[in-house]
Structure 1
Amino acid sequence: MPNPFSPFDELAAVLLAHTQNLSNDGSHDQSHLLRVWKNVCAIQAKEGGDLRILLAATLLHDCVAVEKNSPLRSRASTLAAEQARHILSNMDWSEQDCEAVGHAVQSHSFSANIQPVSLEARILQDADRLDAIGALGIARCFYTAGRMGSSLYEPKDPQAENRSLDDKRYALDHFPAKLLQLADGFQTKRGQEIARERHARMERFVEEMVGEL
């Protein structure tokens, strides 16, 4: 099986060592990093961008683990960006490249609400958000809800027709509260194309789940 990080195999091995044993969160593990990297490559093939910068940003974008329900959640990408700059500086990367990776890491997060400026930052944000939608996004949503102790849905009003959305308590609420809003915010043309396909899958899922209820 070919190495998915070729021709950056050695760099990937070094950076992945900084992501091990940070969290027991299966939605932000190394398989997540691999999926985001595949998304990055799919977008970069159409949009361009520096793959070395993108690889480092991809593998380090979650290098500081902060739980979804932590009060530090909105600062998670800033903390990860600081750590990424430190790691790469110790590897003798130039200050310019460290900053390029740091900006991409910091601006990838939905919670941080930081506008990505560089092409690489826009690509990483799109690639990471693609993993939050579609079939994989559905799986990750319910996995995370289980870890956080949330219910599947509010039994009396599952579609929140007569109540406020509360996605901290109900997994189904997370779709209108966040996931079904993500497709409108993609930064690249290729990212937008893939996002529309995955968005449609989520809409079908929600419709079918509500139909079964």
Structure 2
Amino acid sequence: MDWIEANFTDQAGLAALLLAALGPDGDDGSHDRSHLLRVWQNATSIAGREADCDRAVLTAAVILHDCVAVEKDSPLRSQASRLAASRARAILAGLGWEAPRIDAAAHAIEAHSFSAGIAAETLEARILQDADRLDAIGAIGIARCFYVAGRMGSGLYDPADPPAGRRDLDDRRFALDHFGAKLFRVAGNFQTEAGQALADARTRTMRRFVQALLDEIEGKSE
């Protein structure tokens, strides 16, 4: 029995230890402790159907996957997951983790990012990628989309063409465009069967919201 298994018969203790290692929460409400806990909940749900998953590696990767904060409009955005993986390595080494498990957690962190474009080569990496992307869609995803748009100073939608029927999507300027530009595309690229099933349900929630919003903008009655 190794150090991790001896000290954490379930993963709650490990998660609490890693959260403490992260220090105070930042000011980004879309990547705060609540986000980490939701992703951990998603990952736990998916992992429950995957017998070969290393739960300690998965928990570490989930809790540390956003341990370096990079804003959406930063030129370093595509490097965010690599920066987080580097810090995670230092944290896990300080806790006495062995190199193979550190490498496994770091890979999962590097591969979770949509913008990094790194293939998820392990089960833990695929689960983290799915769990994190689940938090970007559905009702939570809608809330996060408009929260981030507010932080970036974007408009809600283009008043001249809300559904982007006669123009290119521009989600840097308009929050509503982010659904077509990214969120609906994310929903079709999940790595696990359980993750895809959850994503399909959350995608339906987003599509209903977008249609309801467009109806209200156009003044249509229910």
Q: Calculate the TM-score normalised by the size of structure 1.
A: 0.95
Aligned partner of 2:17: which letter? V
Corresponding residue for residue 40 of structure 2: 37
| Cα separation, 2, equivalents of 1:22 and 1:176 | 31
Aligned partner of 2:67: which letter? C
Provide, for residues 52-104 of structure 1, a one-character-per-residue CA deviation record: whole Å limited to 9, x for no partner. Answer: 11110000000000001100000000000111111111211110000000000
Corresponding residue for residue 140 of structure 1: 144
Query: Which of 45, 54, 57 does residue 53 from structure 1 map onto?
Result: 57
Provide, for residues 99-121 of structure 1, a one-character-per-residue CA deviation record: whole Å limited to 9, x for no partner. Answer: 00000000000010111000000
Contact 1:8 1:52 in 2 (8 A): yes
Return the offset for 1:134: 0.3
Corresponding residue for residue 210 of structure 1: 214
Q: Secondary structure in 2 aligned to 1:74?
A: helix
Query: Which runs of 5 or more residues in structure 2 are unaligned?
Result: 1-7, 218-222
| Cα separation, 1, equivalents of 2:45 and 2:16 | 21
Corresponding residue for residue 125 of structure 2: 121
Provide, for residues 1-27 of structure 1, a one-character-per-residue CA deviation record: whole Å limited to 9, x for no partner. Answer: xxxx97234322221023333520011
Aligned length: 209
Shift of the 39–6 alpha-carbon distance from structure 1 to 2, 3 Å rule, reads farther
Q: Calculate the TM-score normalised by the size of structure 2.
A: 0.91
Identity of aligned residues (%): 58
Corresponding residue for residue 66 of structure 1: 70
User: What pairs up with 1:99-110 in 2 under 5 angstroms?
Assistant: 99-110=103-114
| Cα separation, 2, equivalents of 1:201 and 1:183 | 12
Contact 1:22 1:64 in 2 (8 A): no
Aligned partner of 1:87: which letter? I
Return the offset for 1:161: 1.3
In our comparison, the structure showing a higher alpha carbon Rg is 2
Matched, 1:175 2:179: yes
Return the offset for 1:40: 0.5
Provide, for residues 114-133 of structure 1, a one-character-per-residue CA deviation record: whole Å limited to 9, x for no partner. Answer: 11000000000000000000
Corresponding residue for residue 10 of structure 1: 13
